[in-house]
Amino acid sequence: MKTPENLFKAALARGEHQLGLWNSLGGSAITEQLASCGYDWVLIDAEHGIFETGDILPALQAVAAYPATTAIVRPPSGDAALIKRLLDFGAQSLLIPYVQTAEEARALVAATRYAPAGIRGFAGMTRATRFGKAEGYAINASDQICLLVQAESRTALDNLEEIASVDGVDGVFIGPADLAASLGHPGNPDHPEVQDAIADAFGRLRRLGVPAGILALDPEFTRRSLALGSTFTAVGVDSLLLDSAAVQLEREARGWIAATPAP
């Protein structure tokens, strides 16, 4: 039995755009429903979403029912012990928040690699190893692990080339909201200084040949990000989509009520 191919990582390496959706609401049934919607990847958000560590395994199992969709897990931090658990659960793609230096990026790479290349602890009977049945897993595991790091501060942008050039970093995700706060514009990612910084970051990553990603929640920003070279782009968050649809339906229903003559 072979370790499953990471289709997301392979597509990034080929330069193919990958369209994503954010899963912030806990419960594997929601994750499975999102995975059925045709996106290339679903982000299981354990940083800001309603996921405890133990919730991530059933979420990964839910996405696995849809082989064309890749699960990406965002832990709350880059803690090596937590990364070890997520990899043992079978996560092959990780998005690590708030990476600010190349040293931090190298430590994250080490957390995803077995010795002598890293510090990942080995356990044979895990979902990642197909319960000991994946041939050569210890040797080949890193080939299918995709490590994405978030650059979301002034410091991270100052160190962007060094971070992106670390061997084992497969892509850099620009975080507009935290970046806006770091640049002195909290709650205003549309501020010209923030937008200029995002455009500059995309250009620098493009020149390095490193895939760049972003979360874009309105059509104009999505189109602008794609034009700048976003390679993996999330275009929605489940809680926002639910809220938007519910509010829209409520407004329409109020109109129907007001326009309906009393019997």
Please identify every residue annotated as catalytic.
48
Token readout for 170 is: 């497969």
Contacts of 45 (CB under 8 A, 6+ apart): 22, 23, 24, 51, 74
From 201, 213, 207, 106, select the one nearest 156 (Cα to Cα): 201
Contacts of 177 (CB under 8 A, 6+ apart): 152, 187, 189
From 188, 186, 182, select the one nearest 159 (Cα to Cα): 182
| Bridge partner list, 120 | 114
Residue 87 CB neighbour total at 10 angstroms: 23
